Amino acid sequence: MAFEFTDSNFQDTALAVDTVSVVDFWAEWCGPCRMVGPIIEELAQDYEGKVTIGKVDVDTNPETSMKYGVRSIPTILIIKNGEVVDKTVGVTTKKALADKIDKYL
């Protein structure tokens, strides 16, 4: 199950950790987001214990979305040591995301 990032837990769970975090910015009403959702869930299982993979609902967490300049969704950030090291906007494949995650492990 993908982790649920929020405005209140983002600092502690995505930034102040020694692992890689993958953050999917999405919204319930977003068609392309619903296409990426199952990929995020599969990756969360595949990388369980190695990478924190989760989602930020942009409608209920506007602070985090604004902080990272998320204007289009889905936007997927890969964060390592508190810094954004990769950004994908739009629909992508599981393999493309897995390759990017592996690059930062």
33 is catalytic: yes
Name the catalytic one among 17, 30, 84, 89.
30
**Other CB atoms closer than 10 Å to residue 18's CB: what's the count?**
7
Name the catalytic one among 2, 20, 33, 78.
33
Residue 102, helix vs strand vs coil? helix
Alpha-carbon distance of 15 to 52, in angstroms, equals 11
43 is catalytic: no
Alpha-carbon distance of 14 to 67, in angstroms, equals 13
**Contact present, 71 and 11 (Cβ < 8 Å):** no
**Contact present, 35 and 24 (Cβ < 8 Å):** no
Q: Which two tokens stand for residue 23?
A: 């953050």
Q: Residues with catalytic annotation?
A: 30, 33
